[in-house]
Structures are given as C-alpha cells and as structure tokens.
Structure 1
Amino acid sequence: MSTSQGPAERVISAVRRLIGSLVATGETRLRLAVLELELERDRLLSLLLLAGASLILLSFGIGMLLLMVVVLYWDDHRLLAIALCALVLLILSALLAFKAKRLARRRKLMESTLNNLAQDRHALRPSHESS
C-alpha cells in the first residue's frame, strides 16, 4: 500500500483545514463583537449615571433660579415672569432634544466588527476578473 494520500483524501483534508480556518475566523470576529459590546455597555452606563446626576443638579439649580425670578416680580408681573420662565425652559428643551437626536445618529455600534466582517467578505469573494 502506498503512504501517499489519494485525491479524495487530499480534498477532505483541505476542506477540514478550510472549515477550521473559518471557525477560527468566526470565533475571532465573535470575540471582537463581544468585546465591543462590553465596552459600549460600560460607556453607556457611565454616561447614564453622569447624565442622571447632572440632570438632577441642573433641575435643582433651574428651579431655584425660577423661584428667584418669580419672587422678584411677584408684586408687579408674576404671571408674566412665570410665562417667560416656562417659555425659556421649553425652548431650551427643544434645542437639547434636537442636539441629542443628532448625537444619537452619529454613533455607530460595533463599527470595528462590521468593518472586519466586510473585509472578510471581500477577501472571500472569487475573482472572475482574469476570465
């Protein structure tokens, strides 16, 4: 018997190596995706905690300023003072909501993973240009 592999055995061996490479590449991409998700989760948690504390302190500060304005104009124009304070708050709220919407569109989740997967897909495409 000959010790060399036949054509079928070489094909099976090549397919096994290919599948092993694909599994290893998939595992690497999955680990990258998980790492990016964990980093994004930590970043978002920190952002939410800081934003929450900031909003609580900001609301107390704004409340005190509004109270001061209303008390200052209580005798002469209390309704006008209250209406102007409410109008300013509504305008600021609309501007901040618009800015938050723009900021939310700018961030792309798992950008590195998607770029690597696109590179992998491009590398695996058969090239028919030489035909």
Structure 2
Amino acid sequence: MTDGQGPAERVISAARRLIGNVVAMGETRLRLAVLELELERDRLLSLLLLAGASLILFSFGVGMLLLLVVVLYWDDHRLLAIALCSLVLLLAAALLAAKAKQIANQRKLMETTLHHMQQDRQALESSHDA
C-alpha cells in the first residue's frame, strides 16, 4: 500500500480485492462443475451405447434360446414350455430392474463440486465467527 492513500481508499481497495477473490473462487467452482458435467455426460453416453448394443445382442440370444426350447417340446408340452420361458424372462426382467434402480441411486451428480462448496461455506462461517 502506498502512503498517499487515505483510510477510505484503503477500505475500497481491500473491498475490491475481496470481491475479486470471491469472483475468482466462484469461477473456479463453476469450472469444476462444468468439468464434472462433461465427464458425466461422456460416461453416460458410453454407458448407453454399450448397454444398447449388449441389450440387442442379448435379446437375439434369448430369443433363439426360447425358440430352441419351444421347438424341443413342441409335440409334448408346447404350452408349458412357452409359459416357463415367459416366467423366467419376467423374473429376470424384475431382477434387472431392481439392480438398475439400486445402481441409479448410488451415483451423486457433482459430488466433488458440492463438497468443495461446503468446505468454502464452512471456512467462511468459521472466519466470520472468529
């Protein structure tokens, strides 16, 4: 600080520095949030593409297996074979839906950004109390 500044000018200068620091901190947090969103978007896109391809191939495989079972029991127990295949598919679908719901509940979007913002708030509160 220069000796030519009066008390009011020093207060204004300190306020400007404080505002600059708050803006810089906000910009850093915003950049972190954008980065996390971009990474999550890329991860979800890859996940959807791989899941879609595997779902199509799995559907073809299950369809062929069911066709084989029905053809094997066509003469004797065709209705029982169709009913059992349907039951197995419905049970598998229910289990997979439950697992998907469990996985969806595990992820927390922007967890790191929220953690850093909480740390910033705690630091500001502790400095305000002191």
Tell me the residue number matched to 2:49.
Answer: 49
Per-residue deviation, 1:4: 2.3
Tell me the residue number matched to 1:117.
Answer: 117
Could you tell me which amino acid in structure 1 is paired with residue 97 of structure 2? A
Q: With structure 2 as the length reference, what TM-score do the two structures score?
A: 0.95
Q: Which runs of 4+ in 1 moved over 4 A?
A: none
Q: For 2:129, which of 124, 127, 130 is the aligned residue?
A: 127
Distance of 1:41 and 1:5 partners within structure 2:
51
Distance of 2:120 and 2:41 partners within structure 1:
26
Tell me the residue number matched to 1:71.
Answer: 71
Per-residue deviation, 1:5: 1.4
Distance of 1:88 and 1:76 partners within structure 2:
20
Tell me the residue number matched to 1:38.
Answer: 38
How many residues of Structure 1 are paired with residues of Structure 2 in the alignment?
127
Which one has the bigger helix percentage? 2
| Identity rate, percent | 78
Unaligned runs of 5+ in 1: none
Could you tell me which amino acid in structure 1 is paired with residue 33 of structure 2? A
Distance of 1:10 and 1:124 partners within structure 2:
22
Per-residue deviation, 1:6: 1.4
Unaligned runs of 5+ in 2: none
Tell me the residue number matched to 1:61.
Answer: 61
Cα RMSD (Å) of the superposition? 1.2
Distance of 2:121 and 2:108 partners within structure 1:
20
